[in-house]
């Protein structure tokens, strides 16, 4: 049974459609990430689940209850905000216990809940401090702890790591993942950061202009993007996207840029996608002029021109290629993604039929 069920959830502001018909089932123990660019509807969807935005149409169930019209306090949810939302004049202990106090939980029982959550998050030593005495990472743990003490049916996290520096974000991602596995509760997590989505999610919900584009595991959306938008959005560095045409088992991308595709691949105008890591140096490949080099330690990212196309190619570490060099690149036909030129919908990676 799903912990949370969103059925054709829709949100409009007058004539503006912010979210259009989201269908999503979240099972107990799943961490679902809503991912997309700014303005895509992901935060609005989360706020509808939280009860902070009224649902225009559709239904929302948490457990076996229809909570579509219930107030936030009656939905059995806990939310972690981007700005932490801690009371600056209260101690960390009081901040974590505040929600329990408002619900009428006995003081001794609330204190034990706070202690248990603090031990889980390794913040026991911070309980008697105030928020102004904490680092960003410590405040984020406190915000998680305040949600954790409530023992809700689902945790809602709205870009919780966006205020942290890169190193601390990476550490907090690991901690959130471990915490989620430990408590086994459903989480709905909003981010625009695909690294967070790929590393944390059980499944990713990719949104654009209020519409769900694809739902799948991180590797499913990476390996089989449903359309050209998803293909270009998922992956770092991003996929190379080019317009071309398929005929007689060959993909032409203009000029002398031609790659083989498996026999039987349907002919026609296409949008082709090739991930940077799928390109490889090979004899008799397509000429590629190196215009930029990024040494990333174990990998090297090359940026340059392939005909009229600006291309990124990712390889294992290379320090024998210099700016201005021309090398030849090829690609496994099965690693080429093809999309309908008009609709943008997936025709399948070459060879999938």
Return the percentage of the chain with pLDDT > 70, whole number: 98
Cis preceding linkage at 237, omega within 30:
yes
At 21 the pLDDT is 93
Distances in Å between the Cα of 261 and the Cα atoms of 68, 251, 265 are 49, 6, 7
Class of domain 2-229: alpha beta
Q: What is the pLDDT of residue 350?
A: 46
Look at 1 and 291; give whichever has higher pLDDT: 291
Q: What confidence tens digit (pLDDT) does each residue in 288-321 have?
A: 999 999 999 999 999 999 999 999 999 999 999 9
Q: Lowest mean pLDDT: which of 6-10, 48-52, 168-172, 199-203?
A: 168-172
Residue linked to tokens 């660019």: 37
Three-state secondary-structure class, residue 96: helix
pLDDT at 348: 53
Helix axis angle, 107-121 to 166-183, nearest 10°: 120
Considering only residues 5 and 263, tell me which one the structure prediction assigns the higher pLDDT: 5
* For residue 274, pLDDT beyond 90: yes
Over residues 58-105, the pLDDT tens digits come to: 999 999 999 999 999 899 999 988 777 888 999 999 999 988 888 888
Q: Which CATH number fits domain 230-349: 3.30.200.20, 2.40.50.140, 3.40.50.360, 3.30.360.10?
A: 2.40.50.140
Q: Domain limits of the chain?
A: 2-229, 230-349
**Arithmetic mean of pLDDT, 277-297:** 95
**40-69: buried (b, 16+ CB within 10 Å) or exposed (e) per residue?**
bbbbbbbbbbbbebebeebebbbeeeebbe
Q: Confidence class of residue 213 from pLDDT cuts 50, 70 and 90?
A: very high
């Amino acid at each position: 049974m799903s912990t949370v069920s969103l059925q054709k959830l829709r949100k409009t502001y007058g004539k503006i459609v912010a979210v259009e018909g989201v269908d999503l089932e979240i099972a107990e123990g799943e961490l679902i990430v809503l991912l997309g660019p700014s303005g895509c509807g992901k935060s609005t969807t989360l706020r509808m689940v939280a009860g902070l935005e009224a649902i225009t149409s559709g239904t929302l169930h948490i457990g076996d209850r229809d909570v579509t019209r219930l107030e936030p306090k009656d939905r059995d949810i806990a939310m972690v905000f981007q700005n932490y939302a801690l009371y600056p004049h209260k101690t960390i202990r009081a901040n974590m216990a505040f929600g329990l106090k408002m619900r009428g939980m006995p003081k001794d029982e609330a204190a034990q809940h706070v202690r248990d959550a603090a031990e889980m998050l390794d913040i026991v030593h911070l309980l008697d401090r105030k928020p102004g005495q904490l680092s960003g990472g410590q405040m984020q743990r406190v915000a998680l702890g305040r949600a954790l003490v409530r023992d809700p049916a689902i945790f809602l996290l709205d870009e919780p790591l966006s205020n942290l520096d890169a190193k601390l974000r990476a550490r907090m991602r690991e901690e959130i993942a471990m915490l989620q596995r430990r408590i086994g509760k459903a989480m709905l997590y909003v981010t625009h950061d695909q690294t967070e989505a790929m590393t944390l999610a059980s499944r990713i919900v990719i949104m654009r202009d209020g519409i769900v584009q694809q739902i799948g595991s991180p590797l499913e959306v990476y390996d089989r993007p449903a359309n050209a938008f998803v293909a270009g959005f998922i992956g770092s560095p991003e996929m190379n996207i080019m317009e071309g045409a398929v005929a007689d088992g060959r993909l032409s991308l203009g000029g002398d840029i031609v790659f083989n595709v498996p026999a039987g691949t349907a002919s026609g105008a296409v949008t082709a996608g090739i991930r940077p890591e799928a390109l490889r140096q090979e004899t008799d490949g397509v000429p590629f002029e190196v215009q930029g080099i990024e040494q990333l330690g174990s990998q090297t990212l090359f940026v340059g021109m392939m005909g009229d196309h600006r291309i990124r190619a990712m390889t294992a570490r290379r320090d024998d290629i210099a700016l201005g060099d021309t090398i030849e690149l090829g690609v496994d036909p099965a690693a080429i993604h093809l999309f309908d030129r008009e609709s943008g919908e997936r025709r399948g990676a070459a060879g999938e039929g």
